[in-house]
Amino acid sequence: MATTTRTPADVCRAAKAASRPLAALPAGVKDAALTAIADALLLRRDEILEANARDLDAGRAADIGSALLDRLTLTPERIAGMAEGVRQVAALPDPVGEVLDGGRLDNGLRVERVRVPLGVVAVVYEARPNVTIDAAALALKSGNAIVLRGSSTALHSNAILAAVAAEAAEGAGVPAGAISLVSGGGREELAELATQEGVVDLIIPRGGEGLKNALKGVATVPVIFAASGVCHVYVDASADLDAAREIILNAKTQRPGVCNAAETLLVHSSVAATFLPDALGALDAADVELRVDARTRAAAGDGAPALLDATDEDWGTEYLDLILTVGVVDSVAEAIEHVVTYGSGHSDAILTEDLASADAFVAGVDSAAVYVNASTRFTDGAEFGMGAEIGISTQKLHARGPIGLRELCTYKYVVQGAGHVRP
């Protein structure tokens, strides 16, 4: 595996050299390498946990907060989950060589559009050591070399995970340099990675707005932003209120430090007085800090838990914590307008028994994932049957939603003739 003593340019050039033979590897070799990675994760679990403990100690000392600590934490169960995710990726069909469409032209030429790897993918991520394995597995299966750059918060965890993946893959026949880690360094290193034109084919940042803005200012290679999730749950007038309470609790509290957790609850005015007292009480019991508008405060009643006044800034904030903004609206159209104004285009849900309301919300909310009567927490590559993901794209070109195997590929046209010349 590439070591951190080499510059990002050196690592990227080695990845580029590995990408050519990697793109031609048979599916069986790639799947064997993935199986070897999964086995190695379990075999070297104690090493991984020891490295992670060092990062957790440093994180606590730096007071990085509970949400980041949760993202950073590895447990035997989470390592087993990573290994299972790698096995799931191995079990998926190989996207490389898939014929997307095609046919024979009137002149006899056969034209096919065929899926092929991108080449070299760089992933920049913050405090999520599981991304090291998810990204490596997806890149390997899709025939791409990968350059990983984690944050200093997960320095030791990323180093051991990348070493485990690279060593296992190379032992199974994957070219050296196909899985590489760049760690440490500052903005200069990030800029060097993001300007490897002709070497890096795509860079995917997975982190907060600070990381996104830092890359926007320097990147000269194509970028897919796995951006923030200001996710909404809207309880419509016809919603099943018992189900709605459970859905908002799941969307907010099941794992609040992730991008598909809900940050805002909107409630139709006709059910606010019925729904909100119970729902706010349940959220408060789950230690959720509630920031509300005046109509929510009025509907909550005298027995309401402690409520803070929501500011204009609150409505567009990705908290990644047990904090929720709550507002009352008068129509599905008003809910859509709120989501369009304050949302990030990630994942938004309507809870309703009215088909017209559901259709209006789905048509009006232009997010990567739009839900009807389900928690936003399902926006996830594994939950969508993709095995894993590198991130959730909120862009519209090339990839949108979970970035899985097919999103790490492009295509080329293969044209077959029989001595054809153009007249």
Instruction: Please list the pLDDT of the chain residue by residue as tens digits (423 residues).
Output: 444 468 999 999 999 999 999 999 999 999 999 999 999 999 999 999 999 999 999 999 999 888 789 889 999 999 999 999 999 999 999 999 999 999 999 999 999 999 999 999 999 988 789 999 999 999 999 999 999 999 889 999 999 999 999 999 999 999 999 999 997 667 788 899 999 999 999 999 887 777 778 888 899 999 988 768 999 999 999 999 999 999 999 999 999 988 999 999 999 999 999 999 999 999 999 999 999 999 999 999 888 899 999 999 999 999 989 999 999 999 999 999 999 999 999 999 999 999 999 999 999 999 999 999 999 999 998 898 887 788 888 888 888 898 999 999 999 999 999 999 999
Query: What CATH superfamily classification does 231-378 receive?
Result: Aldehyde Dehydrogenase; Chain A, domain 2 (3.40.309.10)
Beta-bridge partner residues of 325: 264, 291
Domain with CATH 3.40.605.10 in the chain: 8-226+390-416
Token output for 85: 């995710």
Going 4 to 6 to 7 to 10, the CA torsion angle's sign is: negative
- CATH 3.40.309.10 positions along the chain are 231-378
| Exposed / middle / buried, residue 277 (Cβ in 10 Å: 0-12, 13-18, 19+) | middle
Statement: the pTM of the whole predicted model exceeds 0.85: no
Question: Cα separation of 85 and 404, whole Å?
Answer: 12
What pLDDT is stored for residue 225 in this prediction?
81
Q: How far apart are CA 158 and CA 315, in angstroms?
A: 34
**Angle of CA points 341, 342, 344, to nearest 5°:** 110
- Domain boundaries 8-226+390-416, corresponding CATH code: 3.40.605.10
pLDDT the model gives residue 269: 98
Look up residue 316 and give its two tokens: 């567009």
Beta-bridge mates of residue 102:
112
d(CA 364, CA 393): 19
H helical segments located in 62-114: 66-72, 76-91
**Per-residue pLDDT, 4:** 45
Tokens 């970028």 label which residue? 223
How far is residue 52 from each of residues 40, 127, 258, measured CA to CA in Å?
16, 11, 19
Here the tokens at position 69 are 């600590």
Report how far apart the first and last C-alpha atoms of the chain are (Å, whole number).
Answer: 52
Check residue 186 and give its pLDDT: 75
How far apart are the C-alpha atoms of 299 and 312, rounded to whole Å? 20
Q: What is the distance, to the nearest Å, from the Cα of residue 4 to the centroid of all Cα atoms in its chain?
A: 25
pLDDT of residue 40: 98
- Distance from C-alpha of 16 to C-alpha of 327, rounded to nearest angstrom: 50
Q: How far apart are the C-alpha atoms of 175 and 188, rounded to whole Å? A: 28
Pinpoint the alpha helices (H) of 194-263. Answer: 209-216, 241-253
CB atoms within 10 A of CB 136: 31
